[in-house]
Amino acid sequence: MSPREPFANVGHIADGYDVDGIECLNGAAQNPVVQTSNCEFAVSIVEYNRGLRKDGQPIVAERTNPANALGVPQRADAINFVSLGFGGNLILDLNCVVFDKPGMDIEVVETSFGSPSCANYPETAKIEGSLDFLSWQVLDELCLDGFIDLAGKMPVRYLRITDMSNPNSFGNSNTTDGYDVDGVVVLQPGCSTSGAARFAAPTLIETSVAKAKTNIYPNPFSQQFNLHFTAGEQAEDVQVNVFNALGQIVLTESFVADRHSEVNTSLSLDTQSQGIYFVTVIRNGASEAFRLIKQ
């Protein structure tokens, strides 16, 4: 729809709008389903790297369950959080893409018993966000609980929370263990203020199969991942397709699994770059889809 007049001095090389590509911010999926429920909290742990206490000792076990950072924050003086430890970090998957809207967009809930102020108990964390798990942007640095406005920033799906607390700011308490994550709240979920249905983000979308389901591990992986399942009552034609984040096929494997056999095979992506990959496993026409992260 470009008007011709502004290009009069450019000459014959002016050729209108140039299309470089189209990116679907909510991801692509095989057999996509419509999601009408709200995206409100972090739903899965991608990575947890524990730091240490102020005295250099490991964090006590009951404070190291990263699953305590998922779902609804409890906002209570109880051990239902995960401690990062000094210098530790946690990466959370929100299972949706969060866009900037008027006002604050994300809340990070931290637990410090007795509701102290930042001035006398400065547990601090750097909050970074990513859409593709490759490029990260600093969203804010928070002391205790805090709110994040994505104004001027790219949409995010993943949050990396890194402890930035100074151990020397906590008096004589050698058991202090840094920033404690109780949960993350998406304050303005969905793609529009109308709350209209949207396509689900591709965490795990699978078609029901009448046989034992496929397991793919580890996730994240570094060079290769494993595919494991037990075949059913008849031999199975198996096809495995691996797509990169651009939707391009980077690996295809086909084989036949004997009836009742236990299949455990490795697939290598050692020549591929780090990032998100989508794997479809088709067994006798029934499809399962998985999202993997290569580190």
**38-96 pLDDT, tens digit each:** 578 998 898 999 999 999 999 999 999 999 999 999 998 899 999 999 999 999 998 88
Are 87 and 114 in a shared domain?
Answer: yes
Pairing of strands 106-110, 180-186: antiparallel
Are 233 and 94 in a shared domain?
Answer: no
- φ, ψ dihedrals at 198, nearest 5°: -140, 165
Mapped onto helix, strand or coil, the DSSP state of residue 212 is coil
**158-186 pLDDT, tens digit each:** 999 999 999 999 876 778 999 999 999 99
Are 80 and 179 in a shared domain?
Answer: yes
Are 125 and 187 in a shared domain?
Answer: yes
- Identify whether 260 is part of a domain: yes
Q: Running DSSP on this structure, what letter comes out for residue 5?
A: G
- End-of-domain residue from the set 163, 198, 233: 198
**245-287 pLDDT, tens digit each:** 777 889 999 999 998 899 999 999 999 988 888 888 988 888 8
Query: Measured between alpha carbons, how far is 160 from 90 in angstroms, rounded to an integer?
Result: 6
Are 126 and 219 in a shared domain?
Answer: no
Are 50 and 188 in a shared domain?
Answer: yes
Taking the model in full, what pTM does it have?
A: 0.60
Q: Within its chain, how far is the Cα of 77 from the centroid? A: 28
CATH number, residue 253:
2.60.40.1930
CATH number, residue 186:
2.60.120.260
Are 173 and 284 in a shared domain?
Answer: no
- Identify whether 103 is part of a domain: yes
How many domains does the chain contain in total? 2
- End-of-domain residue from the set 167, 198, 229: 198
Containing structural domain, residue 259: 215-294
Say if residue 73 is preceded by a cis peptide, omega within 30 of 0: no
**How many Cα neighbours within 13 Å face the side chain of 67?**
1
Q: Running DSSP on this structure, what letter comes out for residue 137?
A: E
| Number of neighbouring beta carbons within 10 Å of residue 220 | 15
Number of H helices, E strands in the chain: 0, 18
